């Protein structure tokens, strides 16, 4: 009898977790250069959370499981100026964005 009750309890917990995971749509998007060319291997970080990912070679990224709400997202890549953008993640659809990074001019010193 106890095993049966525990089995039912485990099933209810697993279904609840699965339902919650479906509600958390997440944040996705693409990172490009100013010219519109995809920028791969960019660090995308949701500030004040532990969520950090790197875009793929085509500049696409997905951060699953982000709760609905407003977040600041930092996008950075070597040779480009980092940006921080505020984004809104909706409950039903999540959020999809295109972020554009500007080249960062670097002055080299004479030897």
Measured CA distances, 3 to 7, 16, 17, 64 (Å) = 6, 20, 21, 35
What pLDDT sits at residue 104?
A: 87
Nearest C-alpha neighbor of 28 from the set 59, 70, 69, 1: 59
Quick check: 100 and 34 in contact, CB under 8 A? yes
What is the C-alpha separation between 55 and 63, in angstroms, rounded?
A: 10
Split at pLDDT 50, 70, 90, the class of 12 is very low
* CB-based contact 71:86 (threshold 8 Å): yes
Q: Residues 19-77: pLDDT tens digits?
A: 444 456 789 999 999 999 999 999 999 999 999 999 999 999 999 988 899 999 999 99
N-to-C CA span, the chain: 82
């Amino acid at each position: 009898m106890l095993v049966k009750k525990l089995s039912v309890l485990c099933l209810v917990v697993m279904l609840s977790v699965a339902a919650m995971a479906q509600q958390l749509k997440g944040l996705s998007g693409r990172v490009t250069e100013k010219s519109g060319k995809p920028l791969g291997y960019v660090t995308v970080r949701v500030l004040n959370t532990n969520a950090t990912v790197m875009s793929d070679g085509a500049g696409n990224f997905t951060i699953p499981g982000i709760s609905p709400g407003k977040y600041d997202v930092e996008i950075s890549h070597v040779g480009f100026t980092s940006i921080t953008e505020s984004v809104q993640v909706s409950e039903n659809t999540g959020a999809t964005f295109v972020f554009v990074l500007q080249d960062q001019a670097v002055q080299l010193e004479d030897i």
